[in-house]
Structure 1
């Protein structure tokens, strides 16, 4: 009987649904509505007295009425929990639910019952077929809703703390999302979006500093560029037993900047023969060993103002850095520099050397004394030859940027004769190594560079700035070609194996030949060089952006800084300035005409560390 009765009710409701009577209560989308009139379309009244004409299929009958006004749908008090417990797990209708929960089926109780169904916790379905959910489902849903509500409250509280720049310790895991955007590891941040900020690395950087997740001076650029941030943690083998020529009787000098931590080259003079000793790194780093693959994956040391990230474990430098031990193993390049500056009588050997470490500043005061006067004479002959062969000397501003006890120290690098002398000695060793390998048929990566498109000589700063842009980057090739910028017909990098992979690769090839072993093939050399060169792109970019970062921090902390800018170019209504004191480039809008190489007094404008931008204003 009960089943037959329910079927009759369903049929009646379906008739009403097809043609709901005037003054009936219907559901329009999720809102209650009263049927006002029936024609081709049904006119309904919504909350607020608004009328709307809709199709019959757009509404669903909840109660046949009469409903004179939607204001009659007042909240109802009933036995809701008891009704659910009685019906748990079964199916019912809206009418039965209303009568069971509220002891009456009126428009008001029908709407109250429907709201219970629409809530979706204890009941689900449509007016004609309502399911009473089981206790297990209800309890699970209650737990999920409680969890969602708690999460929403937690999220709102977190955003309030972020807006006040007072995050709690438990917020750290959330801020990792912002950090990933700041480091270029993702493109989106729900947190920045919720705070109303554009989702950019700069905004993420700024937010992390504001809330104290990052320190005020935090440098994100090594990680953002994909550069390594820790030294390799690999075991270092012992130095092998092998024959070495004893050159400890020669005075050898490792000349570098004060505080240099990886001395990998030194100079000796033996009569007319110049020796360039280089740390014998390849003695410990075998081809395709774990250490070699790690060095190849890095490409070079990462030199940051705040620290150095080494290409090789620090133990390698401790053992092989020239002058760090009483006697050091070296790969020594001996040669003579002829009267016309040509390199001749080349010799390469494994050696023992005794090295004294000196700074450029110290040697600068001793250039007129032995042995530096003779070394300088040799270097000058070599430089004259390079100049005659088209070498380009661009004397653009250079500075040393260091972080000392948390303070940024920027020191211009003077044009020291001692520095030029050592540079030419290293270039001589590079040419000697290249010629030796070419003569012996040893495949190595030659450093080559085509001539610039503009061959005009640069004699002033603006011309040097323009000429630098004419050069293409140095590239590595197993084919021996010239290096136009250096003015050398043949050259390879061979004097910095502690800090640059291509130099280590040259040493490994030479040592293989010296030991009677087969060097790597030319194809393998290019493969290894290509891998390291790709890796070093991240290193160079990380260094460049890090230097810019710390320079901006220096200007931020010195808002009254004033200095000189030299006009080196023009762009629309702006001029390009080089700031020698900072080795920094700036673009400044000018009203009056200015000339190239004109000097302008500047003051700091706005500094945006997060966006890596600075503005300057012209004084006077």
Structure 2
């Protein structure tokens, strides 16, 4: 920075990276810019380049010089503007100094500062030049790529650049250069729509698995040894594993012996012991992720093959024996490590056998148990259920029938959960209890709209180490124990119960809290992912069936639209109506378009 006394009239100075001629020096410095404009500036606002005389800025024209030769001589040295001016242009003039300054600004031959200019070596110059050429080439290629994206005509080499878009659409990155430079909104929905338009994704690609942080493929550790130990032989009992058609992980079965109902559950803890590699992976995955196109298992399928009830001649189990009192409440609980012989049935097959022993006796017990829970204000909500499957990119949706056999299984599993909790309390076992605080007001809705509204009033369930009520079940205490093949919290409960029964060390309070905390967040993501995936493929189904027509039940009325529940799809949608509609009114609907990226289906009333 020059002092006022060293700057004279007609000197060449630098003002905000532009050349200026000094017109007059006083308290301030009066300068002339290239456009003829006169400014009065402070001395610290300008840098002296050459003392002059410079009569006109128009004289600062390009001048010929020996740039490369000079750089070869001065390679690696620190020099001044004057040194470079004289060596490159053979003179020290305002014109030659300005030419050197422009070369300095290019940063190709020189680096450093105006006071200490570093001359690049030939190797440094060539490297910088090559890098710039590469950047220029890449910039041109990028613009050509954007042009192809706009036109919708991609080439093979575009795949790598499109990672920017796919990563953003799957929430692997927080921004998208492609969307930004195309002038589109940076939203995952916009990215999804563009990927569909370009044909990079088809409608059956499910982005929600990656968006929720899950992986399509899991690497499982080797299986451990199947533990040995005493088992109660219950193979003399007729035991039935009753599931949906196509179920591949049967982890529970039911039998009856006199007045005792037995709920047998796969003895997964005999193989998956605390802190083993398999246990640590199960803790991380938290549960099976059930998708229309695939199931991502918490445990390797081989574990199910070995321990799934009814998949081998006999199966190792943890069996929960329960008797009921005259009111239908649990009276006696027995838990044993057992061996069982299981027959597999679908719900439809079991339904046909409910009038025969032993299923008729099991049904009578589970009905009494349900009635008792209802008396204790269990929530009575039932929404339509469907099974969504994708086979060869074709979506199939089947409405599941309401069957007594399904209620039987549900009630038996709840019974096992209450029995396990009672056993843990009676024996002072640290145990993951599932609790739910009661709603502000208990209701018994009898229609879909009432159930839809009441569901929102229910409080979320929690997992605690101290027993408490589960209002939704109508129980004083409850735990989940019937799905250790596919839920980690159930597996933890089994590990604790099994250790107690064998008089082995159990998990400590801190160990249990850690496991509950780790799995809780993942369980929430799994529920979200399953809900989003089911909605996605329902939309795909509607796209594949553009003439779809069906019934919708009005479950909520808003100012500008109503929410309908479509039973055959188990799907909620917004519908606008030009006329007044009533709650629980049945509307005839026709699909009127689908926006897959936004996750919206449009229906009109017909």
TM-score of Structure 1 vs Structure 2, range by shorter chain: 0.7 to 0.9
Q: Choose the corresponding residue for 2:410, options 410, 419, 423.
A: 423
- Structure 1 position 301, deviation (Å): 1.2
Q: What are the residue-to-residue correspondences of 1:131-280 with 2, within 5 Å? A: 133-227=120-214, 229-231=216-218, 233-280=220-267
Structure with larger Rg: 1
- Look up the match of 2:41: 55
- Structure 1 position 325, deviation (Å): 0.8
- Point out where structure 2 has 5 or more consecutive residues left out of the alignment: none
CA separation of 1:54 and 1:129: change in aligned 2, threshold 3 A: farther
Structure 1 residues 18-56: Cα deviation after superposition (integer angstroms, max 9, x where no partner): 2233xx766554445567788875352525xx5333437
Equivalents in 1 of 2:113, 2:230: separation in Å?
A: 93
SS in 1 for 2:475: coil
Q: Does 1:596 align with 2:592?
A: no
Between 466-475 and 574-583, the greater mean CA deviation after superposition: 574-583
CA separation of 1:51 and 1:351: change in aligned 2, threshold 3 A: same
- Look up the match of 1:618: 604
Structure 1 residues 198-242: Cα deviation after superposition (integer angstroms, max 9, x where no partner): 222223333444445544422222232234543451122232232
Q: Does 1:496 align with 2:487?
A: no
- Structure 1 position 566, deviation (Å): 1.6
- Structure 1 position 589, deviation (Å): 3.5
Q: What are the residue-to-residue correspondences of 1:338-377 with 2, within 5 Å? A: 338-377=325-364
- Structure 1 position 116, deviation (Å): 3.8
Q: Does 1:324 align with 2:311?
A: yes
- Look up the match of 1:543: 530
- Structure 1 position 520, deviation (Å): 3.4
Normalised by the length of structure 2, the TM-score is 0.88
CA separation of 1:81 and 1:230: change in aligned 2, threshold 3 A: closer
Between 153-162 and 254-263, the greater mean CA deviation after superposition: 153-162
- Look up the match of 1:18: 7
Structure 1 residues 396-450: Cα deviation after superposition (integer angstroms, max 9, x where no partner): 1221122122111111122111111111122222222223333333332222222
Give yes or no for contact 2:299–2:485 (8 Å, CA) kept in 1. Answer: yes
CA separation of 1:366 and 1:95: change in aligned 2, threshold 3 A: closer
Between 221-230 and 127-136, the greater mean CA deviation after superposition: 127-136
Q: Does 1:44 align with 2:44?
A: no
CA separation of 1:344 and 1:27: change in aligned 2, threshold 3 A: closer
- Structure 1 position 321, deviation (Å): 0.4
- Structure 1 position 329, deviation (Å): 1.3
Q: Does 1:382 align with 2:369?
A: yes
- Look up the match of 1:285: 272
Equivalents in 2 of 1:501, 1:217: separation in Å?
A: 30
Normalised by the length of structure 1, the TM-score is 0.86
Q: What are the residue-to-residue correspondences of 1:372-521 with 2, within 5 Å? A: 372-521=359-508
CA separation of 1:308 and 1:131: change in aligned 2, threshold 3 A: closer
Structure 1 residues 484-515: Cα deviation after superposition (integer angstroms, max 9, x where no partner): 21222332222111111222222222222221
- Look up the match of 2:565: 578
Equivalents in 2 of 1:517, 1:112: separation in Å?
A: 86
SS in 2 for 1:350: strand
Equivalents in 1 of 2:218, 2:118: separation in Å?
A: 65
Equivalents in 1 of 2:104, 2:490: separation in Å?
A: 76
Equivalents in 1 of 2:407, 2:262: separation in Å?
A: 17
Give yes or no for contact 2:203–2:596 (8 Å, CA) kept in 1. Answer: no
Equivalents in 1 of 2:517, 2:104: separation in Å?
A: 67
SS in 2 for 1:469: helix
Two-structure CA RMSD over aligned residues (Å) = 3.3
Give yes or no for contact 2:34–2:57 (8 Å, CA) kept in 1. Answer: no
Q: Does 1:307 align with 2:294?
A: yes
- Look up the match of 1:8: none
Equivalents in 1 of 2:69, 2:218: separation in Å?
A: 69
- Structure 1 position 265, deviation (Å): 0.9
Q: What are the residue-to-residue correspondences of 1:33-112 with 2, within 5 Å? A: 42=30, 44=32, 46-47=34-35, 50-55=36-41, 57=43, 58=46, 60=48, 64=52, 70=58, 75-85=62-72, 112=99
Give yes or no for contact 1:44–1:54 (8 Å, CA) kept in 2. Answer: no
- Structure 1 position 364, deviation (Å): 2.0
CA separation of 1:472 and 1:127: change in aligned 2, threshold 3 A: closer
Equivalents in 2 of 1:494, 1:128: separation in Å?
A: 77
Structure 1 residues 115-146: Cα deviation after superposition (integer angstroms, max 9, x where no partner): 44443433578999877554344334333333
Structure 1 residues 525-568: Cα deviation after superposition (integer angstroms, max 9, x where no partner): 44433332233122212211211222222223333323322221
Between 503-512 and 203-212, the greater mean CA deviation after superposition: 203-212
CA separation of 1:60 and 1:423: change in aligned 2, threshold 3 A: same
Q: Choose the corresponding residue for 2:283, options 296, 302, 325.
A: 296
Give yes or no for contact 1:17–1:61 (8 Å, CA) kept in 2. Answer: no
Q: Choose the corresponding residue for 2:321, options 334, 342, 347.
A: 334
- Structure 1 position 588, deviation (Å): 3.0
- Structure 1 position 468, deviation (Å): 1.0
